Structure 1
Amino acid sequence: MYEMHVGITTPDGVFVWHVAPVGNPTALCGQSLHGVPTEERDRTDRHCASCMHSFQELMNDRN
């Protein structure tokens, strides 16, 4: 199972949604996830393209 977490993206340093396995502190893109204030979650609708691509591949492999 996977979950979404807000974190920064490199090299931009902007907040984006990352995908990570449940309970894992590292996103599918390799970004380390650490606590982001709740208000920051409300400020972004961007998603990590690398995480989304990896997640799509994982879902395709399940079929």
Structure 2
Amino acid sequence: MILDIHLRDGKVVQVPSFKEAKISIHELEIIPAEQISDIRLVKSANYAFIGANTVTISGEDILYLESN
């Protein structure tokens, strides 16, 4: 699965072989790739999207996620 992270500045960052997302708001939450459509984007959260590469980004920078 490829995860496209669409950013508010118009850029798109890809995470090939996406496996899981780690979300840190008040505690760490791990979302497997199969459940990415259930993810809730929170501006105050920090996200790590893990696959062939790892992208760490603030929730305030993410517009939406798209998986292929």
Give your verdict on TM over 0.5: no
**Structure having the higher Rg:** 1
Question: Going by fraction, where is helix more abundant, 1 or 2?
Answer: 1
Q: TM-score, normalised by structure 1?
A: 0.28
Q: TM-score, normalised by structure 2?
A: 0.26
Question: Going by fraction, where is strand more abundant, 1 or 2?
Answer: 2
